[in-house]
């Protein structure tokens, strides 16, 4: 079976490099010309509500795959909805990236879910000290229900993705899809969940005074260390148990659900009858990084085939030689290339902004039309005021619009990490000007609260927009190392 899958993967890669896409025989590179119902999920609260309604509709199975999974308000609502369905006999599986969740949704939480009948695995549990294998992360994000409907895009599970953080939130974008392509997405989840890199991880064993680590010779027992370790273990168990069983404050939940339903009702709904799905394979190593990449080749091909315009909405913008050559070609053809990304004030990754700040003057000269988000929530973007009314916002969508008609939404950031290391996934809807216009309208609403970097002076003036002394110091401290290690960012 493994040899067969490897053969299929290599065949798919060969076909892809020849610009011939495999049909649905390889789920990691799939397309359909049948009509698919779609919902464009621009609003965080609306997207959370759609997830909760999807889970409630589930009759057979629910599959969950995320890069980040918090233990906060939104995660509690989401997780307890999963538990409710598991108790009703629905099969529930959860796959999380180990590096990004081990200190938050740890195996202690997985243990409690497993007690409810939910399968939980972690992707790539390689020790972070391993600087090679540890680079390969599962950045895919998807919720699948009954093989019929799916949500994918930029959001993880956590308050900052659903407009529920009082400090900082992401403005993101996703697609809800119903149609035959969901079956292909589900198959890639199956293969990723079954891959060698996806493992069950047990929680820490309860300390016992008789454990060898608490003895020094025949007569000395480290009782104080044992007491500390036992209390820590009990605290972790208690936190996980409470997260699963203790309900969210009913008033807060009602506010979240009511506002979520309202925002969901405003979202664009339509049909896509030319739709494709691309995802990386669940492997690590040189082949994964160099020859077996899927998503970036599809995006690069779209850039090369663009005739009029390219709109990129990405939280990060770091250009390696491969992407640089592709963008150079588009600009040389007089294709209008626009970018919306984060400012230093709105970013969640200062080290990435230091690289952007270093390269953007060159790209302005080449003709790139770029905007940086200020961090201020647009007036048209409503939230529950007493929960997130004063929060700073950043852009987090991973979206491309080609020639005002082809839309790509997924997990792929414009950076070397998404291009060469992370497992990513994208859904593309072709020849759909109505959807493209809806996405562009939402991007335009974010451009209103952005700074247009249309001159070298504008770049200089915007460099430290609303930036305090401490953040400036962090910027200067990280600038050298970040630019040196940009191929890992």
Q: What is the dihedral of CA 288, 290, 295, 297, to 10 degrees?
A: -160
Domain spans of the chain, in order of start: 37-207+233-264, 274-488
Under CATH, to which class is 274-488 assigned? alpha beta
Q: Determine how many CB atoms are found less than 10 A away from the CB of residue 34.
A: 11
274-488 shares the fold of 37-207+233-264: yes
Fold of 37-207+233-264: Endonuclease; Chain A (3.30.870)
Tell me what pLDDT residue 128 has. 61
**Cα Rg, the chain, nearest whole Å:** 23
Could you tell me the two tokens for 175? Answer: 């697609």
Tell me what pLDDT residue 3 has. 36
Tell me what pLDDT residue 127 has. 67
Dist. CA 149–CA 10, nearest whole Å: 29
Q: Determine how many CB atoms are found less than 10 A away from the CB of residue 244.
A: 20
Angle at 317 between CA 314 and CA 322, to 5 degrees: 115
| 10-residue stretch averages of pLDDT, the chain, 489 residues long | 36 34 73 97 98 98 98 98 98 96 96 98 82 87 98 98 98 98 98 97 94 80 91 97 96 97 98 98 83 93 98 97 96 98 96 96 97 96 95 98 98 96 97 98 97 97 94 94 89
Tell me what pLDDT residue 291 has. 79
Tell me what pLDDT residue 421 has. 93
Tell me what pLDDT residue 14 has. 34
By C-alpha distance, which of 187, 195, 185, 122 is closest to 153?
A: 185
Dist. CA 179–CA 51, nearest whole Å: 17
């Amino acid at each position: 079976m493994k040899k067969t899958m490897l053969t299929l993967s290599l065949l798919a890669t060969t076909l892809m490099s020849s610009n011939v896409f495999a049909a649905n025989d390889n789920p990691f590179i799939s397309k359909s010309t049948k009509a698919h119902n779609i919902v464009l999920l621009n609003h965080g609260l609306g997207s959370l509500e759609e997830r909760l309604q999807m889970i409630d509709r589930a009759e057979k199975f629910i599959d969950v795959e995320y890069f980040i999974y918090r233990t906060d308000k939104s995660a509690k609502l989401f997780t307890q909805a999963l538990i409710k369905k598991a108790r009703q006999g629905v099969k529930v599986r959860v796959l999380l990236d180990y590096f990004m969740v081990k200190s938050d949704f740890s195996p202690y939480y997985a243990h409690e879910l497993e007690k409810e009948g939910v399968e939980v695995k972690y992707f790539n549990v390689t020790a972070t000290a391993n600087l090679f294998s540890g680079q390969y992360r599962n950045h895919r994000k998807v919720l699948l229900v009954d093989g019929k409907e799916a949500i994918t895009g930029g959001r993880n599970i956590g308050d900052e993705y659903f407009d529920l953080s009082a400090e900082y939130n992401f403005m993101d974008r996703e697609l809800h899809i119903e149609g035959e392509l969901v079956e292909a997405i589900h198959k890639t989840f199956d293969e990723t969940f079954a891959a060698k890199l996806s493992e069950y991880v047990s929680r820490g064993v309860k300390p016992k005074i008789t454990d060898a680590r608490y003895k020094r010779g025949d007569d000395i027992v480290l009782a104080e260390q044992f007491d500390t370790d036992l209390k820590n273990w009990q605290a972790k168990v208690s936190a996980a148990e409470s997260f699963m069983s203790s309900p969210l404050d009913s008033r807060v939940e009602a506010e979240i659900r009511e506002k979520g339903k309202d925002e969901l009702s405003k979202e664009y709904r339509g049909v896509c009858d030319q739709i494709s799905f691309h995802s990386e394979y669940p492997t690590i190593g040189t082949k994964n990084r160099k020859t077996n990449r899927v998503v970036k080749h599809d995006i690069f091909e779209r850039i090369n085939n663009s005739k009029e315009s390219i709109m990129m909405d990405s939280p990060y913008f770091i250009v390696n030689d491969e992407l640089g050559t592709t963008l150079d070609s588009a600009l040389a053809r007089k294709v209008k290339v626009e970018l919306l990304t984060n400012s230093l004030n709105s970013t969640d990754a200062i080290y990435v902004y230091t690289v952007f700040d270093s390269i953007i003057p060159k790209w302005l000269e080449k003709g790139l039309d770029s905007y940086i988000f200020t961090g201020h929530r647009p007036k048209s973007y409503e939230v529950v005021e007493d929960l997130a009314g004063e929060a700073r916002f950043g852009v987090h969508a991973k979206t491309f619009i080609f020639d005002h008609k082809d839309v790509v939404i997924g997990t792929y950031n414009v950076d070397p990490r998404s291009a060469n290391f992370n497992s990513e996934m994208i859904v593309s809807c072709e020849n759909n000007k109505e959807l493209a216009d809806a996405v562009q309208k939402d991007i335009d609403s974010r451009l209103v609260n952005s700074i247009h970097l249309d001159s070298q002076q504008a770049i200089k003036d915007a460099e430290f927009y609303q930036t305090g002394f401490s953040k400036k110091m962090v910027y200067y401290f990280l600038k050298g190392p970040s630019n040196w290690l940009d191929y890992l960012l």
